């Protein structure tokens, strides 16, 4: 199968989208598919395929064509990207390739060319943006119309979890493609590490420190833990608003440091006794979330503490210690219950597993 993935990671961008797209493309290539992905690099970062894959723990693969755009200016890079995509479509006209769009903008732009070039357009959604904006009291009509246009123009829909698919079906019951499936994220089993010995009990959270992640609740919970417990937070950019805001809140039981390179995350997790996931009880947390960190956490073989939300239950079943979202005493109690469990059976879903499901889905496209 020939696939072009329409997403431009800006290497060494370590946001969830860049990690997920890079690993998905690499896993599909390992399964024998010809996959094309474009990327940009930050200023001063050498443009090479090997260096572009290294931040994600990946190496070049003969079936993964990672094309590095030469431009730093976003306008020039965007224009070059569009020209290269059109060139790719022209080259493979008549072969019925798969155009896999990760953003509404790209999907909407290309939908009108399906007939001329004969490709199948698959849209992957990790959000229900119009519903999220409405929940937040923001204007949402324009986004709702764009969602509908994208869904009507796509041959198939993939979502990151069942809740996202259900939400889009509720929002656009007559527009969602008949060919649709929820396909969850995964992790790299090679990232598993043995536990690193340390004093006391350390619970930790690794990821975004944005306010909507309810990080303040974790910080409050840390001060309710017994004396031999500590909370470790790792995330945010040095000098950034998120990290500065979190540092202003922490007490003596919490240590906080900036985000580490993706390759170093397994070592951070190996130094934790309890993995903590933080989500708010909102539309995203309840229905739309399939966090990469949760898949990493579950694979460690150490107990996971997470909010008792449907999205988490769908992924982990009963394999986590639940707490009430936004309730610091509940978080503190859950951390202590989890610590008492000791090692647990790891739950490992690999990127290869995800690629196998995606492959089966794409092979059934009309």
> Residue 75 has what pLDDT?
84
Residue 12, judged by CB atoms within 10 A of its CB (0-12, 13-18, 19+), counts as middle
> Residue 12 has what pLDDT?
86
Q: Which parts of the chain sit beneath pLDDT 70?
A: none
Q: Taking Cα atoms as reference points, which of 203, 227, 200 lies closest to residue 217?
A: 203
- Residue 199: CB atoms within 10 Å: 7
pTM assigned to the model:
0.94
Task: Report yes or no: 155 and 119 within 8 Å, Cβ to Cβ.
Answer: no
Please, which residues have CB within 8 angstroms of residue 197's CB and are 6 or more apart in sequence? none
> Residue 35 has what pLDDT?
98
The pair of structure tokens assigned to 366 is 């009309």
> Residue 174 has what pLDDT?
97
Q: Collapse the DSSP code of 158 into the 3-class scheme (helix H, G, I; strand E, B; otherwise coil) and give the result.
A: strand
User: Quick check: bond before 259 cis, omega within 30?
Assistant: no
DSSP-assigned states of every residue in 63-86: TEEEEEP---SHHHHHHHHHHHHH
> Residue 15 has what pLDDT?
87
CATH superfamily of this structure's domain 2-186+351-363 = Glycogen Phosphorylase B; (3.40.50.2000)
Q: Taking Cα atoms as reference points, which of 196, 103, 159 lies closest to residue 290?
A: 159
Reported residue count of the chain is 366
306 backbone dihedrals φ, ψ, rounded to 5°: -150, 160
Report domain extents, the chain.
2-186+351-363, 189-341
DSSP-assigned states of every residue in 46-63: ---HHHHHGGGT----TT
Buried b (16+ CB within 10 A) or exposed e, 153-188: bbbbbbbbbbbbbebbbebbeebbbebbebbbbbbb
DSSP-assigned states of every residue in 113-141: THHHHTPEEEEEES--HHHHHHHTT---H
Task: Report yes or no: 230 and 252 within 8 Å, Cβ to Cβ.
Answer: no
Distance CA 273, CA 326 (A): 22
Beta strands in the chain (DSSP E): 2-6, 10-11, 34-41, 64-68, 98-101, 120-125, 156-159, 180-182, 201-206, 229-234, 254-257, 274-276, 304-307, 321-323
366, HSE (Cβ side, Cα atoms, 13 Å): 8
> Residue 366 has what pLDDT?
86
> Residue 41 has what pLDDT?
86
Q: Hey, do 2-186+351-363 and 189-341 end up sharing a CATH topology, with the first three levels equal?
A: yes
CATH superfamily of this structure's domain 189-341 = Glycogen Phosphorylase B; (3.40.50.2000)
């Amino acid at each position: 199968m020939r696939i072009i993935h329409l997403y431009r990671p800006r290497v060494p961008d370590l946001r969830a989208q860049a990690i997920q797209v890079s690993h998905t493309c690499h896993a599909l290539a390992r399964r024998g598919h010809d996959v094309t992905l474009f990327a940009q690099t930050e200023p001063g970062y050498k443009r090479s395929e090997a260096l572009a894959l290294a931040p994600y723990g990946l190496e070049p693969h003969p079936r993964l064509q990672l094309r590095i755009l030469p431009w730093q200016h976003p306008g020039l890079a965007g224009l070059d990207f569009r020209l290269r995509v059109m060139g790719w479509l022209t080259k493979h006209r008549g072969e019925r390739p798969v155009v896999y769009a990760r953003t509404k903008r790209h999907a909407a732009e290309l939908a009108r060319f399906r007939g001329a070039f004969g490709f199948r357009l698959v849209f992957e959604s990790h959000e229900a943006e119009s519903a999220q904006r409405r929940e937040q009291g923001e204007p949402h009509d324009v986004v709702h119309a764009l969602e509908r246009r994208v869904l009507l123009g796509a041959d198939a829909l993939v979502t990151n979890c069942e809740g996202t698919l259900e939400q889009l079906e509720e929002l656009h019951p007559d527009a969602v493609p008949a060919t649709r499936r929820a396909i969850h994220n995964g992790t790299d089993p090679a990232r598993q590490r043995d536990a690193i010995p340390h004093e006391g009990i350390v619970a930790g959270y690794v990821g975004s420190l944005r306010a909507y992640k309810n990080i303040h609740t974790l910080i409050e919970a840390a001060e309710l833990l017994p004396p031999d417990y500590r909370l470790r937070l790792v995330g945010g950019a040095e000098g950034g608003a998120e990290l500065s805001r979190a540092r202003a809140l922490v007490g003596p039981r919490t240590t906080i440091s900036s985000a580490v390179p993706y390759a170093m995350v397994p070592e951070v997790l190996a130094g934790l006794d309890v993995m903590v996931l933080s989500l708010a009880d909102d539309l995203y947390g309840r229905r739309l979330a399939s966090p990469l960190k949760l898949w990493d956490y579950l694979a460690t073989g150490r107990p996971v503490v997470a909010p008792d939300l449907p999205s988490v239950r769908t992924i982990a079943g009963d394999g986590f210690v639940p707490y009430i979202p936004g309730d610091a005493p509940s978080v503190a109690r859950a951390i202590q219950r989890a610590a008492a469990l000791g090692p647990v059976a790891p739950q490992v879903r690999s990127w290869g597993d995800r690629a196998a499901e995606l492959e089966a889905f794409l092979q059934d496209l009309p």
